[in-house]
Amino acid sequence: MTTLAPTTTPGPALSPARVLHSEWHKLWTVRSTWIMLAASTVLTIAGGIAIGASYESGQAADFALDPVQFLLFGTQFSQIILAVVGVLFIAGEYSTGMVRSTMVAVPRRVPVLWSKAGVVAGVVFTTTLATLVVTFTSGQLFLDGTDKELSLTDRGVLGTLLGSAAGLTALALVGLGLGALLRSVPGGITAFIGGVTVLPEVLRMFPYDVLDSVAKYFPGRATEGLMTLHDTPDYATTGPALLALTLWTVAILGTATVLLRRRDV
């Protein structure tokens, strides 16, 4: 008697919309997503309220920051949290082995990475923009009558908040790309902290103007520049900063895409 080996018939290819919906579902069903987005929101708002409440006119020496940027001080911490969201979203699948099921369901692989990028971008930008608006308006409650009093309707304020949200979103996407490149949660987080937050500050310590200029276009410094209402020599202006962030994000995600296609799962 002959035993026939079972055969499997591949199911229909998932449409881009279904892949996107699947990745959306994955992101929101992971508890860490809720925890980290909530932590990012709380830290940003609390930082804005604290620094607004402690400010008095005449403290220019202690608060020599842009009138919008200094209320967004909490983003120094939340940007790392948002990057961790991106790292975990893909590197977490490698650590649990879930990536095998994902790649079986979507053999072409590339739609998976770019669907993850789309979901992260949509969630982080929406959440961050709402957080920054609340942070700014809450901090301004304590700044009536001071030299840093502003409103959302003042020229450039809303644009600065939009640019800030875009910058923080780009950092989350950089985290996603690093997670895809390294396929390791600790490795992705370490690479982000070292390359995005620490390295630019190290470059600025050297007494060479060219290194200081280069540091302005690293993702972290470029994002800080987007948080300034007024141009300053310490940061790149809005257009170049956005361009730099776009190029960094595309380069890292593009490299991750190429490696994803060439590697085994």
The answer to whether the beta carbons of residues 162 and 69 sit under 8 Å apart is no
Structure tokens at 62: 């202690």
| Residue 136 structural domain | 16-54+63-262
* 99, 37 Cβ separation under 8 angstroms: no
Which residues touch 253 (CB under 8 Å, ≥6 apart)?
Answer: 113, 114, 117, 173, 176, 177, 180
Local confidence pLDDT in tens for the 265 residues of the chain: 344 444 334 445 567 788 888 888 888 888 888 999 999 999 999 999 999 998 876 655 555 678 899 899 999 999 999 999 999 999 988 877 777 777 777 767 788 888 999 999 999 999 999 999 999 999 999 988 888 889 999 999 999 999 999 999 999 999 999 999 999 999 999 999 999 989 988 988 888 888 889 999 999 999 999 999 988 888 999 999 999 999 999 999 999 999 888 875 5
CA atoms within 13 A on the CB side of 150: 24
- Is 1 inside any structural domain? no
Domain presence at residue 5: no
In three-state secondary structure terms, 15 is: coil
AA identity, residue 156: G
Residue 4 located in a structural domain: no
**Residues 47-62: pLDDT tens digits?**
999 999 988 766 555 5
Q: Which residue has the tokens 């790292």?
A: 87
Q: What was the pLDDT predicted at 64?
A: 63
pLDDT of amino acid 208: 83
Cβ pair 174, 251 in contact under 8 A: no
pLDDT at 14: 66
Tokens for 224? 């800080």
In whole angstroms, give the CA distance from residue 65 to residue 228.
8
- Domain count for the chain, please give it: 1
Where does residue 190 rank: exposed (0-12), middle (13-18), buried (19+ CB within 10 A)? middle
Q: Which of 249, 66, 70, 76 is nearest to 169 (CA)?
A: 249
Report yes or no on 86 lying in a domain: yes
Write down the pTM of the prediction.
0.89
Residue 6, domain member (yes or no): no
